[in-house]
Amino acid sequence: MIPALLALAAGITFRNAWGGPYLADVFGLDAVARGEVMTFATLCGLVSAFLVPLMVRRWNPKSIATAWLAASFLAAAALALLPAANVLFSAALIALLFTIGNIHPLLMAQGRNVLPPEARGRGFGVLNSFAFLGYAIASAGFGWIAETASGAGHAPPGVFAWIFAAAAVALLAALVPYLRSPRPS
């Protein structure tokens, strides 16, 4: 579960820090258009958050989290391969990538089954710390990647292709061990 908690930031970072620069540098969107795209991503996150309780009634939380990790990985991989394909396509993929944060409560529910009752408070604190740590790593890491790729002479689409590739790797690195994690009861 810890790699999955770390990887949540691979999507959330685009909503909070990298989505606007990506839309400006690659597609030339002005501040208003970037705000509209980020509002769309936020609304997708909000709507999908309200869908989580409905999904849990039909499927187990681990299956939902697994599918969400896989979909987010595919979105990041598509953006890495086609960073400048189409602004609507890219906006939809960023919105999907951003919604990965909605699996956080599913991961916590899974942690509840793994942690002994007397250690749950501390255990949840540690698990949540990994989500915050992931955000710090992603923010700094994506900045380092952007600086390195720009310094190597990559145009903005190439710079963001590397950033999206790093997000895809992080999500895949989370998905693979997550498949072996315990299933919540």
Q: What CATH number should be reported for the domain holding residue 91? A: 1.20.1250.20
Quick check: is 7 in a domain? yes
SS (H, E, C) the chain: CHHHHHHHHHHHHHHHHHHHHHHHHHHCCCHHHHHHHHHHHHHHHHHHHHHHHHHHHHCCHHHHHHHHHHHHHHHHHHHHHCCCCCHHHHHHHHHHHHHHHHHHHHHHHHHHHHCCHHHHHHHHHHHHHHHHHHHHHHHHHHHHHHHHHHHCCCCHHHHHHHHHHHHHHHHHHHHHHHCCCCCCC
Domain around 142: 2-178
Number of structural domains the chain divides into: 1
**pLDDT (tens digit, 9 = 90+) per residue, 71-116?**
999 999 999 999 999 999 999 999 999 999 899 899 888 888 888 8
Quick check: is 92 in a domain? yes
Quick check: is 183 in a domain? no
Quick check: is 185 in a domain? no
Quick check: is 184 in a domain? no
Q: What is the pLDDT of residue 112?
A: 83
Quick check: is 158 in a domain? yes
